[in-house]
Structure 1
Amino acid sequence: MSMPLIGPVEQEPKRPRRRAARVLAVLAGVLLVAGVTGAFWLGSTLYGFFSHVQQVPQDADPGSQHAAAADRPLNILVLGVDAGAGAGEPSAPQRSDTIMVANVNPTTGRVGLLSIPRDTRVAIPGRPHPEKIAHAHAYGQAEGGPGAGAQRVEETVEDFLGIRIDYFVEIDFDAFRALVDAVGGVEVCIDKPMRYTARSQNLRIDLKPGCQVLDGEKALHYVRYRQDGDIFRIQRQQQFLRALADKVLSMQGVLKLPQLASTLGSQITTNMPASRMLGLAALLPRFDLDRLEMGILPGRPGYVDGLSYWLVDEAAARREAMKILAGVDVEANAQVRLEVLNGNGRRGAAGQAADLLRSLGFRVVTVGNAERFDFATTVVVVRPEDTAVADRLRQALAGSAVTVRVETAEDLPEGIDARIVVGADFTGTAAGTATAAAGREG
């Protein structure tokens, strides 16, 4: 009698399916538990950090409402001060040793970092004559409570560069040491012996040339050394910060988060709300170190009344701020001649667009009405060979129009390089673009 074949043939495929289903169910359960555990771990870590950070209230400012937009780029003033200068507010006011402005764009993941030499000669609010910008922190600290030093630097930078600072973050030297030690040190290549002693600061620097991993103390010596000039020191600081950021954002750095949170929290002073810090922390995976652009405020060394300064032309400083922080090259834009036409019929739309483009350096030579008012989207028209100009204009208008369509035409008027037809999607504001954070809003 022959063996029945139907049963075995039908049943064999079912076992793998049931096994696969069980494996998938177990895997899903593991991932779910891991996800919940990871979320709890990250949440508790961030809570521990925020609960230790020394927060000071933000000044009541009508412009501060703009900072509430989650997708708007932020200008953050970053200050490095001697131990105790921020958190402890010592009886002897401290000057800021490091001054940087970071522009963080949550939408694009771009970060711009502009370093301001500590000897930059500027007008400090409340002082009769221009002084070194590093003095601003000491003056504010002497006159106010926690965070007053940083707030005075913030006011100084806003007036000097013509930008709005949304928040400040003040980090003392102890926090810097702890951060470097927590990630296991940072590798740098030193090109020359670095030796310096300052007994008044209890500082003795002795670093040998060569590639090496620096611990927190040696790293602090590396970024503070300035015997070859403040500009070389800033260049070292920027190189080190890039390497440190890469280490912190690595898996090894992420695993150190709990240690970092408990160590750094008490040594940081800021006026950034916890909700904003949490939002930026959640966006960390979006930020790309390859898109980190760094620059130094342009100027030259010089003397005024026998004192050495970093002398800066204010107009040049503002152009550099726009370029580094917002990614806007004002000098290059000045070569582009524009015709701006109202294509949506809304009164003043072309004028608003023209004002926005002028603020970014573009030369608007004509403002008027299009032949019709039924343009749903904003259109940029360039000659076929000017696609690079189209890309810059599209970037400039990205936060002001939902869609920017590019077209080419051979018959543009002789005196213009591009035509902008303002569509119904134009909002009339630069909110949401990098330029909104770079330009100060009145």
Structure 2
Amino acid sequence: MKKNKKRRRWAKFAGIALLLLILGGGIYLFYFSQSLTSAVNQMHQPIERKVSDKREQAVTLEKKDPFSVLLLGVDKRENDSGRSDTIIVLTVNPNKNSIEMLSIPRDTRTVIAGKGTEDKINHAYAFGGVEMAMDTVEQFLDIPIDYYVQMNMEGFKEIIDSVGGITVNNDLDFTSGGVHFPKGSLTLNGEKALKYSRMRYEDPRGDFGRQMRQRQIIQGIIQEGASVSSLVSFDEIFTTLGNNIKTNLTFDQMVDLQKNYKGVQRHIEQNQIKGSGTKIDHIYYFLVPESERLSLHNRLKEHLEL
């Protein structure tokens, strides 16, 4: 019984911590002690980047401005800077009380900002880190990218376990990594969620199916954290989050998020980019028509009230 209570407490804590990083939650920060400050300092990784020229004024979270977040899931390998194999843009609007979530296929062919050459969009991170990834996505969608949250995909398992697992609605019966995922509602721990999110070869939708499962998991984490109303035990959980998440959001900005953006996680609209795959010089790329980019630009720009 005590063990179960302790696990539930950890789940509550981690859910709110992650929620604060992405879009804020419904709990007050005075529940958190010096451990929170220490963990947030560890997560905070500022970047040298000017305010986007796609905004007339910088975002002010204290004033409840709509904003955007680039969520990067990075797989790092030995002697390699890694690639952002998960690229999701969130636009958050407290006035409409909603979030738009857009997956960008990692093989999307686009101009890499700062290099002037066309390549796969996920190579931007490998070439120039978070800054180049943000600039490239901003250029691709023609909207400002205000903040980023970078997640270590291997540590993703620990984060999901810390919120007590997540529930997804699976629309495809498949087996991946020795785990069978039947159709219907599934509750997944961290290890199973990672396998669930990475499978694509057995999915007739290919990478589109994988992106959908990734969005399901992100949404599950957000909603799991949003349901929490109290925290008790937290030291080990903050260590996990601090080791696996980096963001340019400051502690004060997180405070503004939790005060001013409550409820936005209740309305999450998932979006998928339309396009087609082809090979250029024997390399596979995903090509997005200009009309599709313009449609996405208009949708997200309107959501950002620009």
Question: Which bracket does the TM-score occupy, shorter chain normalised?
Answer: 0.7 to 0.9
Is the contact made by 1:111 and 1:293 (CA closer than 8 Å) also made in structure 2? yes
Q: 1:46 to 1:435 in 2, by over 3 A?
A: same
Q: Which runs of 5+ in 1 are unaligned?
A: 1-37, 141-148, 196-203, 328-433, 437-442
CA offset digits 1:143-179 (Å, max 9, x no partner):
xxxxxx1111111111111111111111111332122
Q: Give the CA deviation at 1:52.
A: 2.1
Quick one: distance in 2 between partners of 1:253 and 1:118?
A: 37
Q: 1:281 to 1:91 in 2, by over 3 A?
A: farther
Q: Give the CA deviation at 1:318.
A: 2.9
Q: Among 81, 85, 91, which residue is 1:93 paired with? A: 81
Quick one: distance in 1 between partners of 2:287 and 2:81?
A: 25
- Helix, strand or coil for the counterpart of 2:270? strand
Q: 1:52 to 1:312 in 2, by over 3 A?
A: same
- Helix, strand or coil for the counterpart of 1:111? strand
Pair 1:77 & 2:70 matched: yes
Is the contact made by 2:61 and 2:260 (CA closer than 8 Å) also made in structure 1? no
CA offset digits 1:27-79 (Å, max 9, x no partner):
xxxxxxxxxxx753236564243122141234234758512353211111110
Count of aligned pairs between the two proteins:
272
Quick one: distance in 2 between partners of 1:194 and 1:324?
A: 35
Is the contact made by 2:68 and 2:89 (CA closer than 8 Å) also made in structure 1? yes
Identity, % of aligned positions: 31
Q: Among 259, 271, 274, which residue is 2:251 paired with? A: 274
The residue correspondences of 1:323-334 to structure 2 (distance < 5 A) are 323-324=299-300, 326-327=302-303
Pair 1:67 & 2:59 matched: yes
Q: 1:189 to 1:252 in 2, by over 3 A?
A: farther
User: What is residue 193 of structure 1 aligned with on the other side?
Assistant: 174
Pair 1:319 & 2:295 matched: yes
Pair 1:239 & 2:216 matched: yes
Is the contact made by 1:56 and 1:269 (CA closer than 8 Å) also made in structure 2? no
Is the contact made by 1:97 and 1:134 (CA closer than 8 Å) also made in structure 2? yes
User: What is residue 348 of structure 1 aligned with on the other side?
Assistant: none
Higher mean alpha-carbon deviation, 249-258 vs 230-239, is at: 249-258
Q: Among 193, 198, 211, which residue is 1:219 paired with? A: 193
Is the contact made by 1:182 and 1:256 (CA closer than 8 Å) also made in structure 2? no
Quick one: distance in 2 between partners of 1:283 and 1:258?
A: 26
Q: Which runs of 5+ in 2 are unaligned?
A: 1-27
Quick one: distance in 2 between partners of 1:189 and 1:69?
A: 33
Q: 1:130 to 1:57 in 2, by over 3 A?
A: closer
Q: 1:181 to 1:301 in 2, by over 3 A?
A: same
CA offset digits 1:109-149 (Å, max 9, x no partner):
22111110111111112445311111111111xxxxxxxx1
Q: 1:225 to 1:256 in 2, by over 3 A?
A: farther
Give the TM-score normalised by the residue count of structure 2: 0.78
The residue correspondences of 1:128-147 to structure 2 (distance < 5 A) are 129-140=117-128
Is the contact made by 1:114 and 1:324 (CA closer than 8 Å) also made in structure 2? no
Is the contact made by 1:114 and 1:321 (CA closer than 8 Å) also made in structure 2? no
Quick one: distance in 1 between partners of 2:229 and 2:147?
A: 29
Is the contact made by 2:37 and 2:251 (CA closer than 8 Å) also made in structure 1? no
Pair 1:261 & 2:251 matched: no
Q: Give the CA deviation at 1:274.
A: 2.5
Higher mean alpha-carbon deviation, 241-250 vs 154-163, is at: 241-250
Pair 1:435 & 2:298 matched: no
User: What is residue 57 of structure 1 aligned with on the other side?
Assistant: 47
Quick one: distance in 2 between partners of 1:248 and 1:50?
A: 17
- Helix, strand or coil for the counterpart of 1:298? coil
**Given residue 209 of structure 1, which amino acid in structure 2 is its aligned partner?**
P
Quick one: distance in 1 between partners of 2:117 and 2:265?
A: 41
Is the contact made by 1:111 and 1:325 (CA closer than 8 Å) also made in structure 2? no
CA offset digits 1:228-279 (Å, max 9, x no partner):
2110111122223222322121237866766543320232222223321221
Quick one: distance in 1 between partners of 2:73 and 2:137?
A: 15
Q: 1:124 to 1:288 in 2, by over 3 A?
A: closer
CA offset digits 1:382-422 (Å, max 9, x no partner):
xxxxxxxxxxxxxxxxxxxxxxxxxxxxxxxxxxxxxxxxx
Pair 1:304 & 2:297 matched: no
User: What is residue 209 of structure 1 aligned with on the other side?
Assistant: 182
Aligned-residue RMSD, C-alpha = 2.8
Is the contact made by 1:122 and 1:132 (CA closer than 8 Å) also made in structure 2? yes
**Given residue 105 of structure 2, which amino acid in structure 1 is its aligned partner?**
P
